Amino acid sequence: MTAVYVIMGVSGSGKSTIGRALAAELGCPFFDGDDFHPPENVAKMSLGVPLDDADRATWLAQLATLLAEKIEQGNWAVLACSVLKRCYRDQLRARNEGLLFVYLQGSYDLIWQRMLARPGHYMKPEMLRSQFATLEEPGRDETDIMTLSIDQPALTIVAEIIASAIA
């Protein structure tokens, strides 16, 4: 059975770290959603300006296509992608039945400290408030989402993801 994981959460929650570790453990490709942003989105975020739904539309469509290709090919994959709103998650789900989302949940203070420790990233710590304001935590009816606390080591999180897939 093919599994395509989408590791989601606000900037600084550890999506790329967890995604890379999960992909390495599964022996499958890892894709960072940040790498698919068009240059104008990166420039906007670099200036501290949050993206709006229009900015994200092409980006989400490209990610949905990537996931569809992996599923159609029967390949495993891991994508790190914020997908903070339900409508964004629904856009990825629309063409891709069977996605498995992992929501990395953490406090503002913990994530703020993590963001301060990663210099050079285009997503500035000052934008974290807008990330939390945009975040629509997964609803109970989103049964394809596993919520995990980031208050634990990355390898523990990865082990929980794998254990849930086996169960």
Asked if the structure places residue 90 within a domain, the reply is yes
| Eight-class DSSP state of 153 | -
Q: In this structure, is the dihedral angle defined by the CA atoms of residues 83, 87, 90 and 92, taken in order, positive or negative?
A: negative
State residue 30 phi and psi, 5-degree precision: -115, 135
Distances, alpha carbon 91 to alpha carbons 64, 75, 100, 117, 150, in Å: 7, 20, 14, 32, 25
Using one digit for the tens of pLDDT, what is the confidence trace for 66-92? 999 999 998 899 999 999 999 999 999
Query: What is the pLDDT averaged over residues 147-152?
Result: 96
Asked if the structure places residue 167 within a domain, the reply is no
Query: What is the pLDDT averaged over residues 28-42?
Result: 93
CATH number of residue 95's parent domain: 3.40.50.300
State residue 11 phi and psi, 5-degree precision: -60, 135
Is the pTM for the entire model greater than 0.75? yes
Residue 160 has pLDDT above 90, yes or no: yes
Residue 166 has pLDDT above 70, yes or no: no
Containing structural domain, residue 132: 4-162
Q: Are 14 and 154 in contact (CB under 8 A)?
A: yes
pLDDT of residue 161: 95
Pairwise pLDDT comparison (17 vs 130), residue with the higher score: 17
- Give the side-chain half-sphere CA count within 13 A for 23: 21
Q: How many domains does the chain have?
A: 1
Residue 150 has pLDDT above 60, yes or no: yes
Using one digit for the tens of pLDDT, what is the confidence trace for 94-135? 978 889 999 999 999 999 888 777 666 555 556 788 889 999
CA–CA dist 104, 156 (Å, integer) = 13
